[in-house]
Amino acid sequence: MFEHSPARSFLIFALLMVPLMALPAKARPAPDGFADLAERLTPAVVNISTSQKVEQRGSRGPGQPPFDRFFEEFFNQRRGGQSPSQKVSSLGSGFVIDPKGIIITNNHVIEEADEITVTFSDGTKLDAELIGRDPKTDLAVLKVSSKKRLPYVPLGDSDKARVGDWVIAIGNPFGLGGSLSAGVISAINRDINAGPYDSFIQTDAAINRGNSGGPLFNMRGEVIGVNSAIISPSGGSVGIGFSIPSNLAKTVTAQLQSFGETRRGWLGVRIQQVTDELAEGLALGTARGALVSEISPDGPAEKGGLKVGDVIVRFDGKPVPTMRDLPRIVAETAIDKPVQVEVIRRGKSRKLKIVTGRLEEVSTKEEPESRSQPTPQSSDDESYIGLTMQNLSRDNRKRFELGEDAIGAVIVDVERGSAAFEAGIRPGDVISEIDQRAVGSAKAAVDALKKAKQNGRNSVLAFIRSGQTVRFIAIPLSD
């Protein structure tokens, strides 16, 4: 869902130092070395090579996304100018989690592979079978058959990982198998816009092309991450690497082993981030949770009593600090499980019981192009704070491609440079609610805005339909 490419440039900022009070702190001492861990763990880390037939491809254009699947150039460096039927090879890493031959790696290491070969540190080579893969989390599970019991490593609890903890990465950078690098955890729960369930562990341990799919270990020798991506202007390590947390990997790989696919929980809502401005209109106090902007008909949320405008702050006993936390929490919830959901509705806490459904993969349609054509003035125009609105009619429904289900006041003009324009409101948007109360006409919408401003409000919460999407927006009450 939610590919990676090298960052184009970096800016260096000079920071002014401010005096801080010295505070006592207990820190773990730096390890004397990693030799014992390396000797124990390296046999379970494998090199993964794949081969596939590819069509002839030209060089890549400049419009690459900001994050790089950091082995892509390494994997494909010899593709240019090849004949359509020629085989190419790729290299990556993986690790054994079960002595019976179960191996975890990245999906992008093995996707589209015709053949997968696993090489152990003692030189043993085994053909691997693909059990299942999950592009959304970039994880894949392989299986090899061996007459002997294979070395393996345990998956640890990534939730216990802390910023500053020592970690080591073992893998196959640039084809140099069995390489170890060490560093610390730089950040946790990092979102790099790689997918819908981003919650990466960031580390400064050197991770390069070929480390992909390899393990990130804590000092107890437990895998707490699956190395997956880096940020780099050159393709080499600059100390910013990302690993998929082991707790997420546990859930996904268990399902891939059991079903050959993922089976994620589904709530049946569209959500949006709660900003400070929206928090004011929602009477939340501080920005938190996930704001429900749309509910799927006959889905789990609707059946459980969830309403548009509710802010989900806790799901199945787990807090929901921000919008991006909810999809991951719901996805990891068992299907058909009754869960308690805490929401804030009109400033008051409510608890609902909702039975999760199963997420089905659906294709997404492209949003219609912006409809910003000027609209002729009409006798029912109502203008305020840079917005010109009209009652919905046959003519403006046709002009802005609005269905009969659209209710409220349609925006026909937005003054450029106004606060409303800067907030993202455009012609064709339909305001159906202000302060979570329905508005059925342009006059009702303007009256509600004026009343809020007279009451000393800086902004007002509005529910807006834009094309096929709906969202809440904080409209600034300034011209």
Active-site residues, by number, are 108, 138, 212
The candidate with the shortest Cα–Cα distance to 247, out of 187, 331, 178, 354, is 331
The tokens of 168 are what? 């080591």
CA–CA dist 120, 89 (Å, integer): 18
Tokens 């094309």, located at residue: 467
Which residues contact residue 142 at a Cβ distance below 8 angstroms, ignoring those fewer than 6 apart? 48, 94, 102, 103, 104, 105, 110, 116, 118, 128, 129, 130, 131
Beta strands 357-358 and 382-384 are: unpaired
CB burial string 239-260: b at 16+ within 10 A, e below: ebbbbbbbbbbbbbbebbeeee
Q: Residue 68 carries which DSSP code?
A: B
Tokens 């305020």, located at residue: 384
How many secondary structure helices (H) and strands (E) does the chain include? 10, 27
The tokens of 43 are what? 């046999």
Which residues contact residue 445 at a Cβ distance below 8 angstroms, ignoring those fewer than 6 apart? 382, 389, 408, 409, 431, 434, 439
Distances, alpha carbon 242 to alpha carbons 50, 237, 348, 354, in Å: 23, 11, 39, 34
The tokens of 244 are what? 């998929």
